[in-house]
């Protein structure tokens, strides 16, 4: 059987052009992966920070109104004397500062990048202000407190998440 006309298959030039086009397309797609990974990591850190802020806010809101300002105003986990992990196996009630120390340990978890726990260079701050019903600073004692819980992380606290909450005395 003899072939008439043009032989079947690709020429070397056609093959090289097709391979070049495929290589450029593959490189374009591959270059998106590092950017996508950075976005996923950043989103995970924001989620962790938001969870930690919400958790501390819930703890503060569950405290007796009279204790909120004394226990939590000017809290800064960078200056808090704590050794992590906390010893939680003892009998009896937990100490009054347990929630603050637990929060500090949760923020500081070592190996944040490798384990997914904690935040890299994470720390937190809480401020409690006496305010009136309009949110204007007021003389204490008032029946309303503005609680601001903030979590910082990254190099020199370059990222942060804050939650502002009002806590009222219930008569």
For the chain, the structural domain boundaries read 12-168
From first to last of its 171 residues, the chain has per-residue pLDDT tens of 555 666 677 788 888 999 999 888 888 888 888 888 888 888 888 999 999 999 999 999 999 998 999 999 999 999 988 888 777 666 667 777 888 988 888 888 755 555 666 788 889 999 999 998 888 888 887 889 999 999 999 887 789 999 999 999 887
Of 124, 140, 128, 139, which is closest to residue 166 (Cα–Cα)?
128
Q: Is the pTM here over 0.85, yes or no?
A: no
Integer Cα distance of 5 and 26 in angstroms: 35
Locate tokens 């998440």: which residue?
Answer: 161
b/e per residue, 14-36, with b = 16+ CB within 10 A?
Answer: eeeeeeeeeeeeeeeeeeeeeee
């Amino acid at each position: 059987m003899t072939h008439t006309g043009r032989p079947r298959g690709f020429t070397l030039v056609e093959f090289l052009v097709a391979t070049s086009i495929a290589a450029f397309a593959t490189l374009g797609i591959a270059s998106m992966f590092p950017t996508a990974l950075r976005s996923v990591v950043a989103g995970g850190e924001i989620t962790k920070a938001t969870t930690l802020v919400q958790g501390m806010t819930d703890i503060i809101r569950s405290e007796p109104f009279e204790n909120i300002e004394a226990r939590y105003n000017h809290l800064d986990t960078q200056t808090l004397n704590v050794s992590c992990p906390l010893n939680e196996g003892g009998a009896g009630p937990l100490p009054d500062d347990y929630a603050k120390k637990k929060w500090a340990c949760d923020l500081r978890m070592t190996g944040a990048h490798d384990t997914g726990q904690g935040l890299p260079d994470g720390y937190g701050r809480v401020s409690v202000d006496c305010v009136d019903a309009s949110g204007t600073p007021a003389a204490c004692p008032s029946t309303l407190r503005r609680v601001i819980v903030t979590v910082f992380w990254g190099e020199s606290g370059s990222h942060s998440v804050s939650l502002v909450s009002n806590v009222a005395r219930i008569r």
